[in-house]
């Protein structure tokens, strides 16, 4: 088990372009979460999946953002028509319902810079 | 709504000094509480956790006690080391969804 992985680790894009990030959770984990962390702040919840179902989305997730988790395995987060305010670290975490506590394991993050 | 308030940093201490980082929370019901640490250039790592009132989480010399009466979960360490320099985040887990609400983080710098 190699933990939660994210790809790419860094992404630089121009304003108006679309970007997609990938998260591979720990294999037996059925819950997957996306957070956004800006400089000097704590991570903020964006959305989460239980298996393939997206069960909650934050108001932070505008209609330019979309997330999927086909087949309940890896997940993708897409940002369309990027804006400079989207520059942040995007974190993925996974957890197991069986654990009860809901302890989340975090990936290394994808740092997005929008020029 | 649910929220976490952490003391602002940065906190600068000499090696072997006593550390306290304050954390208080507001929540509906009884959340689980966590401290995560983020070392420079690395991802978030779980430091310790507590699931119910009066539970004490501990790891690597760090401790925190879940205080329902004061809605607090302060992080303490008796003797800090240079290697403890990092950003520390307090978080609560919302019952049901188990999503996390994080504090803003406290940067700790330990000087030799």
Establish whether the linkage from the previous residue to B10 is cis, with ω within 30° of 0.
yes
pLDDT per residue, tens digit, chain B (112 aa), is 889 999 888 999 999 999 999 999 999 888 999 999 999 888 899 999 998 899 999 999 999 999 999 999 999 999 999 999 999 999 998 777 778 999 999 999 999 9
Tell me, what's the pLDDT at B48?
Answer: 96
Report pLDDT for A98: 65
A6 in Cβ contact with A108 (< 8 Å): yes
Residue A61's pLDDT band, with cuts at 50, 70 and 90, is confident
Tokens of B66: 């879940």
Residue A13 banded pLDDT, cuts 50, 70, 90: very high
**Residue B97 in contact with residue A31, Cβ under 8 Å?**
no
% of chain A exceeding 90 in pLDDT: 77
Does B43 sit within 8 Å of A102, measured CB to CB? no
Residues of B with CB under 8 A from a CB of A: 4, 6, 32, 34, 36, 42-46, 49, 51, 89, 91, 93, 97-105
Given a contact cutoff of 8 angstroms between Cβ atoms, the answer to whether B103 and B23 are in contact is yes
Q: Within 13 Å and on the Cβ side, how many CA atoms surround B10?
A: 11
- CB-closest option in A44, A93, A101 to B49: A101
- pLDDT at A1 exceeding the cut of 70: no
Q: What spatial distance separates the first Cα and last Cα of chain B, rounded to whole Å?
A: 41
How far does the CA of residue A108 sit from the closest CA of chain B (Å)? 4
The predicted structure's pLDDT at residue A101: 63
Rounded Cα gap, residues B69 and B107, in angstroms: 27
Q: How far is CA B17 from CA B9, B12, B20, B65, B76, in A?
A: 16, 10, 10, 20, 11
* Angle at alpha carbon of residue B46, lines to B2 and A58, rounded to 5°: 35
Give the residue-averaged pLDDT of A34-52.
93
Contact call for residues A47 and A68 (beta carbons, < 8 A): no
Mean pLDDT of chain A: 92
Give the tokens for residue A66.
Answer: 């979309």
Most confident by average pLDDT, A17-21, A60-64, B31-35: A17-21
pLDDT band at A53 (very low <50, low <70, confident <90, very high): very high
- Hey, are the CB atoms on B93 and A33 less than 8 Å from each other? no
- For A106, the closest of B4, B6, B44 (CB atoms) is B44
Instruction: Give the residue among B13, B44, B39, B23 at the shortest CA–CA distance from B103.
Output: B23
Question: Given an 8 Å threshold on Cβ–Cβ distance, is A102 in contact with B45?
Answer: no
């Amino acid at each position: 088990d190699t933990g939660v992985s994210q790809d790419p680790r860094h992404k630089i894009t121009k304003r108006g372009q679309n970007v997609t990030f990938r998260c591979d959770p720990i294999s037996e984990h059925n819950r997957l979460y996306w957070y956004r962390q800006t400089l000097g702040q704590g991570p903020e919840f964006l959305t989460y999946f239980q298996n393939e179902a997206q069960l909650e989305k934050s108001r932070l997730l505008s209609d330019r953002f979309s997330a999927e988790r086909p087949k309940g395995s890896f997940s993708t987060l897409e940002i369309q028509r990027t804006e400079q305010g989207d520059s942040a670290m995007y974190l993925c975490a996974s957890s197991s319902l069986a654990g009860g506590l809901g302890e989340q394991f975090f990936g290394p993050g994808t740092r997005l810079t929008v020029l | 709504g649910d929220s976490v308030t952490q003391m602002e940093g940065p906190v600068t201490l000499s090696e072997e000094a006593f550390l306290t980082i304050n954390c208080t929370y507001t929540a509906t019901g009884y959340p689980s509480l966590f401290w995560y640490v983020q070392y420079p250039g690395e991802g978030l790592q779980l430091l310790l956790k507590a699931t119910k009132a009066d539970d004490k989480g501990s790891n690597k010399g760090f401790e925190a006690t879940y205080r329902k009466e004061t809605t607090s979960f302060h992080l303490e360490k008796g003797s800090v080391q240079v290697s403890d320099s990092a950003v520390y985040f307090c978080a609560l887990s919302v019952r049901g969804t188990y999503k996390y609400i994080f504090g803003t983080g406290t940067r700790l710098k330990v000087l030799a």
